[in-house]
Amino acid sequence: MNNTRKNRHGEKFQLALSSKKFELKSLLSIVLFVAALLFLIDGFYINAKAKYAQYLIADSWRHYMQTGEQKKPWPWADTYPVAKLEMYHNTQYVLAGASGRNLAFGPTHMLQTAALGSQGNAVVVGHRDTHFEVLKHAKEGDLIYVTSRNPVYSKEVITSNTPYISSPPYQPGLSDRDASKTISVANPYLKQAYRISSIEIVSEYNLNVLKSNRNDTSITLITCYPFDSISPKPSLRYVVKAKKI
């Protein structure tokens, strides 16, 4: 009799234990599912925000190019576009100031480096999983196009005593003497081609990649590495250097 009772109690205990394990597994499965769902939603939100922001920045960029006035892409922004990058059938607008907040919306220019389009080394950084994901396709010899505002652009006609030969088409009604005194820059866009000269992987603490050579006009594009790392802050950097041709 006692053995029968013990067996029954043992069976009940096993059933209760199995039930608890099942509940625990179910709860764990739900938690993992919710976490994965939130992760996917967060990833979608980050990518959607990055892409939508580029449309607003593009409008601000056009205003800047035509007027020279720095226009915020949205009212609370503390940055503005300074250049346009074209590479691998992809267009990105570069924002001034490499802060974490700006990086969420586009590639950013490190202001302590040379201005984009000017002599020296202009450094641009971007996230590996959004705007600078295209850098995984980079190869030495590839071309990158940088458009910035022409520093000598003027809407007004500038007269000069220096002899000048205007390029076609000539303005009708102007004599050769008048034409030699008329200088007009009609295009505010300064588009330059750069050829990739090197690609390297360095430590995040390597500051040599920021060095500038005043005799060259170059750009350095930097993003985190590896591209597929699950770590939010990898310790390596993928560095693409290109020189103006």
Q: What residues does each domain of the chain span?
A: 41-153+188-244
- pTM here is 0.68
Residue 67: which pLDDT band, with cuts at 50, 70 and 90? confident
Residue 10: which pLDDT band, with cuts at 50, 70 and 90? low
φ/ψ (deg, to 5) at 112: -80, -5
Res. 203: pLDDT tops 60: yes
Task: Cis check for the bond before 163: say yes or no (omega within 30 of 0).
Answer: no
Residue 153: which pLDDT band, with cuts at 50, 70 and 90? low
Distance CA 92, CA 57 (A): 9
User: Bigger pLDDT: 94 or 14?
Assistant: 94
pLDDT of residue 86: 97
pLDDT of residue 19: 63
Q: Which class would CATH give 41-153+188-244?
A: mainly beta
Residue 97: which pLDDT band, with cuts at 50, 70 and 90? very high
Pair 113, 121: CB distance under 8 Å: yes
pLDDT of residue 66: 83
pLDDT of residue 145: 97
